[in-house]
Amino acid sequence: MKKALILAASLLLACQITGWSQAKKPVIMVVPSDSWCQRNGFVQTVNQSGTTVTMSDYARAMRENADMRTVVSAMGDFMAKNDFPIQSLEQELKRLQTEDAELSMMTGKKSGGEIEETPLERLRRSAKADIILDMDYEIHRIGPKRQVSFNLQAVDAYSSKIISGNTGVGSDSSAPMTTLLEEAVLSFKDNFLSGLQHHFDDLFANGREISITLLRYDSCPIDFEEEFEVNGQDAELAEIIEAWVADNSKEGRFNTAAKSANRIRFNQVRIPLYGKNLNGRDVAIDAEAFARPLVKMLKKAPYNLVVGSAPKGLGEVWITIGDK
């Protein structure tokens, strides 16, 4: 009997290890922090709906600052050795630049028309990393020595929560700057990777966290307090939507942050890592993909609403009723 229990436990452990080894780890991207970009002058101003906004200029930072490229390379090396896939910021920026150039040259054969693309659509074809490594460092001189103080935060791209953070220091009078930077990174790598793995284990067990916001245009003939008959009883549209989120979130885990006639917001919505595409294959899903069946439901009878959907990054989606 004892041998049988030991054998069963061994088989269970083997199955668990196999399952973990087959699990897809989150995609990670290393980016210079906003603080680092501002201190070093790598910023640009853009016009967003008539408002001037200052944003980090990642492309110029990666192109012109050799130290930052060294740090990113060192991070990518040890992350790859620990089976965490790194998505190259520099290569993604180049890809977007190439796509922009190609789209600008595309014209219709018959009409000579140009490709239309909104800022939102451009954002949607940008990189989709699961975890952003926000990197900051400063170089100080202490007498004849140079010291590098290093700060790294891992941010969940879906929930915007900090999931791992560490600081490191490299100091030497004769070592080249590349060595100091790599030393600072390696000084905390074990704790940092442990934090990432803990977060990934939580995702695998409990699902990732997203937010869903529903908004009403004033042109919509109904609001979220309109009642419909469901399973033989009357219920407000807000209740029906809330029930859908409860039924489809992982283990019914979510929070209703706001609910009124014109606006509903759900946060801390736990969703599965994977869902089915149109061909029945398992694919990684984000907030927009998770909410797509809700959008389809609201378009059909008895609701028959005009419904729009707009992703706000990977972890949030806005759904509008009454217009798109």
Q: Which amino acid is at 306?
A: V
pLDDT at 58: 85
Residues in the chain with pLDDT values less than 70: 1-26, 48-49, 96, 99-128, 168, 170-174, 177-178, 181-182, 184-185
pLDDT at 102: 62
pLDDT at 229: 92
Euclidean distance between CA atoms 125 and 99, whole angstroms: 10
pLDDT at 15: 38
The answer to whether the beta carbons of residues 165 and 196 sit under 8 Å apart is no
pLDDT at 267: 93
Euclidean distance between CA atoms 63 and 237, whole angstroms: 51
pTM of the model: 0.69
